[in-house]
Structure formats: C-alpha cells, structure tokens
Structure 1
C-alpha cells in the first residue's frame, strides 16, 4: 500500500508537470498500477493516451496477465496487431505466457506461426517461452522439437524443458536432459534440481533422485532448500521407502513445514501406511489447523481400508472444528475456430 501511495504522488506530480502523456512515463505508470493490483487505473491511463507506442502496449498486456486477466491480455494483443503495431520480443514472450496460463495450445500455435513470420523464433527469451507453452499445454514433442532448434539456450530454457518432461511423466528423458545440460557445461541452479527431482519422484526413479539430491552440495555447491527436500521425500514416499523418508526428515531443517507432511500423508494413502498417516495428520493438525487436507486424506485412507467408524470420527471432528473441504475445479479449452488472431 505504501508503494501505491508513493506511486499516486508521483503520478500527481507528473500530471502537474504535463509529463503524464509521454509514452515512456505512461508505460511506467501502467506498470506501477498493474503491479499494485489497480488494473482499472492502468487501463484508464492506457485508454487516455493520445498516441500509443509499443512500450504502452507491452505494459498494458503484461499488466493484464499479471492480474490473471489472460484472455483480456490475449485480445489486447490481437487488437495491437490489428492496429499494425509490430510486436517485440517482450510482446511475444508475454502473450505466450497468456496462452500457457489459459492452457490454450490452439492459440499458442497461432502465436508461434506469427513469431516465425516476424523472425523472432531464434530469440532466447521468445524460444524459452515457446518451450514453456508447449510443455504446459501437453505437447512435449513440440516443446522438444523447438528446444533442439534453438541456437542459444540459457539456464531457464534448460529448466523449462526438464520440468516439462517431469510434469508430463517422462522422468527418464528429464534425467537424460539434465545430464546433457551438465555435459554441455551449463551450470545448474536451484530450479534445475527442483525440476529433475520432480521428474524422479513422478517416475519412481528413487536411486537416481537420491544420487542427484546428494550431488547438489557436493558437486554443485547448492544447499538444498525446502522444495528440494519436499521433492526427494515425495520420491521416497511414493516408492514406499518411508523409513528412508523419516530418517531424512529428522535431519532436515524444514521438519515443521506443512507441505512436507502433506506429501508424506498423500503417499501413506497409496501404500496404506496407517500409523505414519496418523502421525503426519497430527503434525498437520498442529501446524495448519484450518486446512481440510489432513482430514480428507486421513478419512480417505480409513475408507479405503473399510474403517468406517474412524471415517465418522474424522467427519465429526471436521464438523466440530468447522473445517470445510475446499471445492475442486477442472479446466477445459474451447476450440475457438472462429478466432483469427493476426492480420496482414
């Protein structure tokens, strides 16, 4: 709030000095209001400009997607193209992010076609955004095809492709790509290890995951953080190696984080480990009293074992403590066959 008030004061001073209609100033104001969650003010500044340049367009598109108005951002990009304004690398990276968040492969491919036409396909930032879009929209082959074509890759590019394999269930390919990255001389960062450890966890590559986890500090000088411990504990727990997971949890500095215990409790359901599930649930009751997750997971474990009296106790406890289960959501994409994104 303090930043917003300061921004308003600067805005007032700019208006007094008649500088608020300068495109670069307007772009900064749009960005400031967008980042402070005041998207209506940002839109007002944008619509009040006598003439818009690419800086203003980019700021407004980025502001919309920053506030989760991705469909609106996409349509504004379309409007910009119809006005014959040429996108920049930033424009394309931002609108690809919109397609990713909308899970719209159809629109993402449209954007990709125009990127090729405009000659931005070899730009490392645009290329990385393309890899991310294809991965998150489920077209892992399309992502890898583009990844292999990129003349230059940075650490973010490598991380996106490894994580894409992980999220789409291709653990072996993720580990192979991680090894290719090391062999290429690229230096992994903390995000790299989250990606490759997630891959090992989702694909049951326990030994590989443990070896990579142990190499973080010894070979790459990176201290494991909460997310890394969560990934390796998830890897061990999914495979039923609960003793090893418990030993690691006793040594790690993040034992009192609810996420770790949720991971353990979820795996206990798969393997029917009631005693550890009860321990994990008790820890979660203590650490996150308002969360419905431990109650629901523990009740599911009891119901899968036919322990209906225990299920009833859990439900009564939820009612007594006024714990409400969070609703679930699903996402579908509508095929917008009548959408013509580009002109000319």
Structure 2
C-alpha cells in the first residue's frame, strides 16, 4: 500500500460521522485509488458502522464496475443486517451466488443463517444448513450457534437439539449451551433446560458463565423447586458469580421468592456487597407478593433510606 493509500485508509478509519466519510470517499473517487478494492471495502465498512445504509448501497453498486470481492459482499450483507434490512440481506446473498466466482465463507453463512432466524424463514434456513454441511462447517462454533438459534426461532426444537448433539463438545462455547437451555426454558421444558445445564457443568470445556446460571435459575423458577434452588445457589457461589454478578444475585432472590422461601431470599440479599436498585426491587417485589411486611421494611431501610439521604446531601452540597 502506497503512502497516499495508507493516508486514505487512516482517514476512513478515523471518520466519526457520515459527512466526513462522504467527503473522504469523494476524494478517493477522484484519485488514482478510485478502483482500489481494499479502500472501497473500508469505505463500505465505515458507512455500515455509521448506519449510512443508503451510502453503502450506492458505493456497493459502484464497486460492481470497479471491483468487488468476498469481503465486499460480507460487509454489505452485515451492514444490511445491522440496520434490520433482513430481506434485502437475503437477496444480497442470493445475488452473490448468482454472480459466480465467489464462495461464501463461514462469516457470510452464519450471518445469513441469522437473517433466516430473524425472518423465521425455515425453508431458506434448511438450505443454508445443507450448504454448511456440504462445506464441512457444521461443527464451527459460530455457524453451529447460528443454526441452533435459527431452528429455535423457527419453532423446530428437535432440529435445534439434533444440531446441538451432533456438534463435538470441544466446539461448544457458553453461547451454545445457553441457547439450548433458553430454548427449553422458554417452552416450559424446565427439566430439560436443567439437564443441559448439568451437562454443561460436567462436559463444557469453558464451563458455564453468568448467563448460564441466570438461564438455569430461570428454569428452576418454573419448577419452583427449593432443593434445586439451593443447589444452584451453591454452584453460583463456587463459580464466583454470587459475589460478582448482579443478574445472578437478582435471579436467585426472585427464585427463592417463587419457591416461597423468603428467609433464603433475604440471606442472598444480605450477601450482596453492593446492592443495586434492581436487587432491592427484586427483593421488595417478592416480599410484597408474599405480604411479608417485616422483611419488606428491612429491605427498604437497608437500601432505599440511605439512597434518599445521599440524594438529599447531593442537593445540599
């Protein structure tokens, strides 16, 4: 890359608004680098990031004459998805296939599978699954997660589970386990969701993350099983999330409330070092639903009163 080309690249990367990007593109078009695919792709990418989808379309069509490559199509499809133009993104993918000479990579395939998920287009989703399988990319973590999500969104839980089971455990990340858990939980299959969580604990290379625990706790809410709730609290503590994750803390308070075990909800609340408005709200709501006024007063005094006093001090000083 020449010095001037590097300068154009630096200017494009530094653009913070569409006006700047348009001005730089105008200078680029009037220079000897007008047909440079790398710089064209970079401008296309910046228009996408700045949500200038109209500018991105115009540049992409102009690049049909000056030159487009795999990255050009990938950037355009992603930009359309980012701005919610899912049908157009799918059309762009088909246009790429018709143009010939360009083979979709896993980035494009996973993006377009996400498009099918958003559109709940099962027919196109299955075609993409066949293509992925033919390319040997089915076990790729990103593609695998996109396929599972697509089948879940299209209401095909058995197909989602088949893809999940066919993927080697070493290729599954936390998202893989969480998507499958959430799919079961959202359909009232709480026990199956917890079975996936247990498999994650036993077999996952990375182990569960905070989202895994929140999802499992949510499933446990459906069962209202206080024994399971205590087990999840112990596990979240041993994994360090009870002390560090507000979402896990609030979910546990809510869970114990659903299990009508307010004394244990209070113990979780008391363990929270830095109480947030959300944790207080979770606790107070459960207490109020159970008409436990004594506990409710304690929660209010423990958090709300100090907050009000601090706010008043802020007004004074």
TM bin, normalised by shorter chain, reads 0.7 to 0.9
Q: TM-score, normalised by structure 1?
A: 0.68
Offset at residue 262 of structure 1 (A): 6.9
Matches for 1:32-51 after TM superposition, within 5 Å: 32-49=46-63, 50=65, 51=67
Aligned 8 A contact 1:127 1:150 in 2: yes
Instruction: Report which of the two structures shows the higher radius of gyration computed on alpha carbons.
Output: 2
Matches for 1:217-228 after TM superposition, within 5 Å: 217-219=237-239, 223-228=243-248
When the two structures are aligned, how many residues end up with a matched partner?
281
Matches for 1:207-222 after TM superposition, within 5 Å: 207-219=227-239
CA distance in 1, matches of 2:90, 2:225: 39
Aligned 8 A contact 2:250 2:282 in 1: no
Task: Flag the structure with more relative contact order, 1 or 2, with Cα contacts below 8 A and sequence separation at least 6.
Answer: 1
Residue 180, structure 1, aligned to residue 193, structure 2 = no
CA distance in 2, matches of 1:226, 1:253: 10
Q: 1:27 and 1:170, CA in 2 relative to 1: closer, same or farther beyond 3 A?
A: farther
CA distance in 2, matches of 1:223, 1:7: 45
Q: TM-score, normalised by structure 2?
A: 0.73
Residue 31, structure 1, aligned to residue 45, structure 2 = yes
Aligned 8 A contact 2:144 2:164 in 1: yes
Q: 1:56 and 1:177, CA in 2 relative to 1: closer, same or farther beyond 3 A?
A: same
Offset at residue 241 of structure 1 (A): 3.5
- Counterpart of 2:110 in structure 1 is 93
Aligned 8 A contact 2:252 2:268 in 1: no
- Counterpart of 2:213 in structure 1 is 193
Q: Which runs of 5+ in 1 are unaligned?
A: 288-344
- Counterpart of 1:257 in structure 2 is 277
3-state SS of 1:169 partner: coil
- Counterpart of 2:87 in structure 1 is 71
Aligned 8 A contact 1:201 1:232 in 2: no
Q: 1:102 and 1:218, CA in 2 relative to 1: closer, same or farther beyond 3 A?
A: same
CA deviations over 1:126-154 (Å, ceiling 9, x no partner): 11211121223332221111111113323
One of 156, 160, 171 as aligned partner of 1:139: 156
CA distance in 2, matches of 1:31, 1:154: 28
One of 127, 138, 150 as aligned partner of 1:121: 138
CA deviations over 1:22-74 (Å, ceiling 9, x no partner): 33333332222222222111111111112322211111111111112222212
CA deviations over 1:88-137 (Å, ceiling 9, x no partner): 11111001111222233343223223323343323222112111212233
Offset at residue 20 of structure 1 (A): 5.0
Cα RMSD for the two superposed structures: 3.5
Q: Whose helix proportion is higher, 1 or 2? A: 2
Q: Which runs of 5+ in 2 are unaligned?
A: 1-13, 308-317
Q: 1:144 and 1:274, CA in 2 relative to 1: closer, same or farther beyond 3 A?
A: same
CA distance in 1, matches of 2:279, 2:27: 46
3-state SS of 1:3 partner: coil
Aligned 8 A contact 1:200 1:235 in 2: yes
CA distance in 2, matches of 1:262, 1:9: 51
CA distance in 2, matches of 1:259, 1:82: 54
CA distance in 1, matches of 2:246, 2:74: 35
